Structure 1
């Protein structure tokens, strides 16, 4: 499809990508959204928790569901997840906000956890939903890492359930090595340090349960995101090293095979994203890839008001147009 012209224009301080990113992650008041937790026991003996919210305006139970996936070290209670969920339930969609393994407030059971390319848990959740609930239409919505997982899921499979009609990825690091190289730049030290501090804490907690695979000496070596991916992510998930993980898990290579309409909303001033994360050439020649690149918006920071973000309204419109 042609590249979409964006109507989004940030105002005042939100024109600055870093301000938009930090405000949206740390300062935006959390939208009010009722959530009900369901635990899914996975086939490998682990579990994931999904937080459900239900359509407010439907007199009869809706047949439309949106599955939401959060970003690195996020959870279903993040403001961007609740903001998206709120506008969806107000417009007739149920919402299943999936927490990645180990992100729901309780450590997962296995040595492995989640990563940017692990689609198996999403696949099991979808199969569980289709086996136990009656939804005719499903939309997949992912933020940052979650967006990469969703786009890879859609592109790596020749077939998937017919109920999945559309997908949206917001601020998606489609090319993981490039995104890593961006994150470790000095301008992004606040973000990368926050991520590595959280990941080191998680490693330390996990180390107690897996002393044969994890140890304090290795933890000392994990001083940045690349080292974490070398020493934990790659090892725990069957990759040779971090670069093998980035190469095999990046959604960019899977975009040409996507068979349903997807919207990729990546801001031009998103400091997390490398040039490869803006797939203009693919979108120009692909009937299902809709690429929108506003000049502003930062990383998941498309502020219009605290009540509703541009990305939230845009996502609703896209999945509604492609029911």
Structure 2
């Protein structure tokens, strides 16, 4: 134990999961013995018992604010490929950045592809270049390395420091491959239709996973989403259900209930004038980068978007009209992932800080996690939004994430089905059959966690 552990304050670490119906995982064994563990026990063993963070960042606001300080450099190198959507309903293009070995950057590396239609005038993010056709053609592989698919937060991209913190210990010597699915318009990519991504924009990650499954047939695939990317990933996992091609997933700082989270931001001065205003400004900048294309959409009033100040105003002016929602709150209710977790059928691990000022505590699905065997939510009393900064610059959340992923990939037999202890699926009606009770003749409605108010066909 480090001497600092005696003096650094420690946040409380708690776990929330179904006590009556836990998910059973089968461990790998060289001797042929079938030993089992539960998802809850695996998550506990992956997570440090204490959450000791920087004492100078002693609350969620300071932890969150510190994410804007460029305090370290983690050199992750990418090569990019643009993908055209495989369904006309969601036409357009998006970028996937693949983690690659370090390469020497040249003046020509802030370049575009051969016809310069994919990137903005300012070039690509640092340490990011396009694949050559020869390099991309050489990608397919029969190796069985675990591969991680990452989704970034609001208006972010593969360059985000929190994302690179997670990648650093698992790629390279860690033995993992990884790629980042950039939301449309983010990370210096152009859009080719008059819409940006939204909080339930699952079609690009679906296409990416299908392509990865075909290109790397022997690699077990895992997913991780951060903030809004966690919301998108949770919705994707729910939409896929038992057909999901990912073996396990991690959700970090998910806002879960977008309406509750938005109202919480509007209720306080800091929430409105610091966080909502900052996020609104970020989305306005993204809008301006693509205004030439977006302005062609007849539903978009460009001047109205330019007058907005806060994030909910942006969603009211752009996302609602673009996607067909009458209000931003209708959009939030439809795009929230809080019910989607009931439809997830793979192991998933969630990390949330209870002092997170953006993914607020009152939006966390404590009750929902008590009803599904497939998920475990770990909460810390301290950490902010995607912060968790330790004394010295490290980030605590990297440890449970890397440990969980490595345990799932290297210690669990992924070919064996994941079985709930009591074989009770989330949302199924319970019936207490004691002799003193009457026969159960009440209507048994079928709860559909993935029911959408907006009629949007899924990509097949």
- Whether TM exceeds 0.5 here: the answer is yes
TM-superposition CA deviations, 1:11-55 (whole Å, max 9, x none): 312322122112124333131112111221112441111111158
**What is the CA-CA distance between 1:174 and the residue it aligns to?**
0.4
**What is the CA-CA distance between 1:173 and the residue it aligns to?**
0.1
**Which of 128, 131, 144 is the aligned partner of 2:227?**
144
Question: Match for residue 274 of structure 1?
Answer: 360
Kindly tell me: are residues 38 and 296 of structure 1, through their superposed partners in 2, closer, same or farther at Cα, counting changes over 3 Å?
Answer: same
Aligned ranges 1:217-296 → 2 under 5 Å: 217-296=303-382
Q: Does 1:174 align with 2:217?
A: no
Question: Match for residue 8 of structure 1?
Answer: 51
**Which of 10, 21, 27 is the aligned partner of 2:70?**
27
Q: Is contact 2:355-2:361 (8 Å) kept?
A: no
**What is the CA-CA distance between 1:221 and the residue it aligns to?**
4.2
More helix by share: 1
Runs of at least 5 residues in structure 1 that lack an aligned partner in the other structure? none
Question: Match for residue 80 of structure 1?
Answer: 162
Question: Match for residue 152 of structure 2?
Answer: 70
Runs of at least 5 residues in structure 2 that lack an aligned partner in the other structure? 1-16, 20-39, 103-141, 410-460
Question: Match for residue 111 of structure 1?
Answer: 194
2:180 counterpart SS class: strand
Range with greater deviation from structure 2 (182-191 or 249-258):
182-191
2:304 counterpart SS class: helix
**What is the CA-CA distance between 1:266 and the residue it aligns to?**
0.5
Where has structure 1 moved over 6 Å in runs of 4 or more?
A: none
Q: Does 1:317 align with 2:403?
A: yes
**Which of 171, 190, 193 is the aligned partner of 2:274?**
190
Q: How many residues of Structure 1 are paired with residues of Structure 2 in the alignment? A: 319
Range with greater deviation from structure 2 (304-313 or 16-25):
304-313
Distance 1:51 1:170 in 2: 20
Question: Match for residue 208 of structure 1?
Answer: 292
Range with greater deviation from structure 2 (22-31 or 105-114):
22-31
Kindly tell me: are residues 269 and 322 of structure 1, through their superposed partners in 2, closer, same or farther at Cα, counting changes over 3 Å?
Answer: same
Q: TM-score, normalised by structure 2?
A: 0.65
CA RMSD after TM alignment: 2.3
Kindly tell me: are residues 271 and 279 of structure 1, through their superposed partners in 2, closer, same or farther at Cα, counting changes over 3 Å?
Answer: same
Range with greater deviation from structure 2 (45-54 or 5-14):
5-14
Question: Match for residue 38 of structure 1?
Answer: 81
Distance 1:55 1:260 in 2: 31
Range with greater deviation from structure 2 (90-99 or 47-56):
47-56
Distance 1:113 1:263 in 2: 28
Distance 2:401 2:359 in 1: 20
1:14 counterpart SS class: coil
Rg comparison, structure with higher value: 2
Q: Does 1:133 align with 2:179?
A: no
Q: Is contact 1:261-1:322 (8 Å) kept?
A: no
Q: Does 1:47 align with 2:93?
A: yes
**What is the CA-CA distance between 1:292 and the residue it aligns to?**
0.6
Kindly tell me: are residues 295 and 216 of structure 1, through their superposed partners in 2, closer, same or farther at Cα, counting changes over 3 Å?
Answer: same
Range with greater deviation from structure 2 (296-305 or 275-284):
275-284
Range with greater deviation from structure 2 (246-255 or 217-226):
217-226
Question: Match for residue 448 of structure 2?
Answer: none
**What is the CA-CA distance between 1:307 and the residue it aligns to?**
6.2
Distance 1:118 1:206 in 2: 18
**What is the CA-CA distance between 1:305 and the residue it aligns to?**
5.6
TM-superposition CA deviations, 1:229-267 (whole Å, max 9, x none): 122112222323211211111110111221111111100
Kindly tell me: are residues 55 and 137 of structure 1, through their superposed partners in 2, closer, same or farther at Cα, counting changes over 3 Å?
Answer: farther
**What is the CA-CA distance between 1:7 and the residue it aligns to?**
2.4
TM-superposition CA deviations, 1:125-154 (whole Å, max 9, x none): 111111222343111101000001111111
